């Protein structure tokens, strides 16, 4: 088992057994890569760009207890005459920076389909988003400046919240953890654990979020998927053992019979798997998908020879599964991809997070033309990113 620097020298197996969704983990200097990667002005400028999802939070009133939230689009005027305490949140930073997107590689021990996005929080001294809890796993990484983090109790959906606020804020916390994070430091916070981060100075904090779909999302996607299946558009069979009953009654046997037929449909592996893969590969922030112009195989080859890198488009999930025929089936943007069998091994490497360049691609093989053509199609569909590092 490989020990990982991002986890403080423990293995992924140890992390899952002892910490994952159980208790927090603090690792000093876990991601030295982030030092110098971003400065506050980068985030202020990005927040004002078209298509960026951002929120500006301010604390006002005599005791700074009244919160206000301004959602994107934001402009320069929004950042004038701000109160002393404010925070800027920008979602999906990884969709706009290939360098930030590459930080996901440190977390490749967690399946890609669990990823949400990398959010960045910018705040001057004293800024925060209040005491709160999240329903997802998050790795908080300090990228610039310092932030003090306090952790408290685990919360439930019926936990008391401060009334009349635009955010879900807790009135207090039973603090059992109190640490200051510096650039490169990492703090893992499990779902529903209350936490409170306050900027010690001008600071940037990256939040690597890992979410699960909820049951309603899965069922909605499943039923939508069934609408395309003719065999589900006929009445269910009446399988109840009929006996004499009152005309107006729906018996427990009737209800159990109907429920069982729905359960059997849910257990139809192919239908459910297809619906789940479609949901898991949907783009959460479609506005951040680039509108790429067409690229010819010859142009792509020239770019690779100039040092270009091909990697997953950060705004797109590229996933695969092993079929019953022992083949790989790829999905992206809610749809199954048509991938030639000979090219599946190299696309698997890309889906698993490996950036590809001229050295790692065998363009001398008989499939070279087919390979370049496939990547050109994937680039035009915003499934892969092609860029030359600065």
Establish whether domains 3-210 and 287-387 are of one fold: no
DSSP 128: -
pLDDT per position as a tens digit, 75-106: 999 999 899 999 999 999 999 998 899 999 99
Q: Average of pLDDT values for 282-296?
A: 89
Q: Average of pLDDT values for 21-29?
A: 97
Helix (H, G, I), strand (E, B) or coil at 12: helix
pLDDT per position as a tens digit, 351-367: 998 999 988 887 777 68
Q: How far apart are the first and last CA of the chain?
A: 35
- Cα gap 246→214, rounded to integer Å: 39
The ranges assigned to domains in the chain are: 3-210, 287-387
Give the chain's mean pLDDT: 90
DSSP class per residue in 14-75:
HHHHHTTTTS-EEETTS-GGGTTT--HHHHHHHHTSTT--EEEEEEESTTS-EEEEEESS--
Residue 241 pLDDT exceeds 70: no
Helix (H, G, I), strand (E, B) or coil at 173: coil
Residue 248 pLDDT exceeds 90: no
pLDDT at 255: 84
pLDDT per position as a tens digit, 142-167: 999 999 999 999 999 999 999 988 99
* Residue 164 neighbours by CB distance under 10 Å: 7
Q: Is 63 exposed, middle or buried (0-12, 13-18, 19+ CB in 10 A)?
A: exposed
Provide CATH code, domain 287-387.
3.40.366.30
* Helices first, then strands: H and E counts in the chain: 9, 18
Q: Average of pLDDT values for 40-62?
A: 91
pLDDT per position as a tens digit, 5-14: 999 999 999 9
pLDDT per position as a tens digit, 293-348: 999 999 999 999 999 999 999 999 999 999 877 789 999 999 999 998 889 999 99
Fold of 3-210: Jelly Rolls (2.60.120)
Q: When comparing pLDDT for 190 and 367, which is higher?
A: 190
User: What pTM did the predictor assign?
Assistant: 0.89
- Cα gap 288→166, rounded to integer Å: 26
Q: Average of pLDDT values for 196-206?
A: 97
């Amino acid at each position: 088992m490989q020990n990982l620097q991002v986890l403080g020298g423990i293995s992924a197996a140890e992390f899952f057994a002892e910490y994952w969704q159980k208790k927090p983990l603090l690792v000093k200097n876990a991601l030295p890569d982030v030092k110098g990667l971003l400065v506050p002005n980068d985030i202020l400028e990005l927040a004002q760009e078209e298509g960026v999802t951002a929120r500006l939070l301010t604390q006002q009133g005599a005791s700074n207890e009244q919160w206000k939230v301004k959602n994107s689009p934001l402009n320069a005027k929004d950042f004038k005459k701000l109160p002393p305490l404010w925070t800027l949140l920008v979602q999906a930073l990884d969709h706009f920076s290939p360098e930030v997107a590459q930080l996901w590689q440190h977390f490749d021990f967690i399946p890609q389909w669990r990823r949400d996005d990398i959010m960045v929080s910018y705040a001057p001294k004293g800024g925060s988003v209040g005491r709160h809890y999240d329903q997802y796993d998050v790795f908080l990484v300090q990228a610039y400046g310092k932030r003090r983090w306090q952790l408290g109790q685990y919360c439930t959906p019926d936990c008391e919240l401060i009334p009349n606020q635009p955010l879900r804020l807790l009135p207090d916390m039973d603090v059992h953890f109190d640490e200051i994070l510096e650039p490169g430091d990492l703090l893992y916070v499990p779902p529903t654990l209350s936490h409170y981060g306050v900027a010690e100075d001008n600071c940037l904090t990256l939040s690597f979020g890992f979410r699960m779909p909820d049951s309603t999302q899965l069922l909605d996607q499943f039923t939508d998927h069934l609408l395309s299946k003719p065999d589900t558009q006929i009445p269910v069979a009446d399988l109840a053992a009929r006996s004499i009953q009152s005309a107006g009654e729906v018996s427990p046997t009737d209800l159990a019979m109907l429920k069982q037929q729905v359960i059997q449909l849910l257990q139809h592996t192919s239908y459910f798997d297809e619906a789940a893969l479609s949901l898991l590969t949907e783009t959460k922030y479609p506005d951040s998908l680039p509108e790429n112009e067409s690229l010819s195989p010859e142009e792509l080859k020239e770019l690779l020879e100039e040092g270009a890198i091909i990697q997953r488009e950060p705004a797109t999930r590229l996933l695969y599964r092993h079929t019953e025929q022992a083949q790989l089936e790829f999905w992206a943007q809610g749809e199954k991809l048509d991938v030639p069998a000979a090219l599946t091994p190299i696309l698997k490497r890309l889906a698993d997070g490996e950036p590809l360049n001229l050295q790692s691609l065998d363009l001398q093989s008989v499939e070279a033309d087919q390979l370049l053509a496939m990547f050109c199609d994937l680039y035009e569909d915003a499934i892969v990113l092609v860029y030359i590092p600065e």
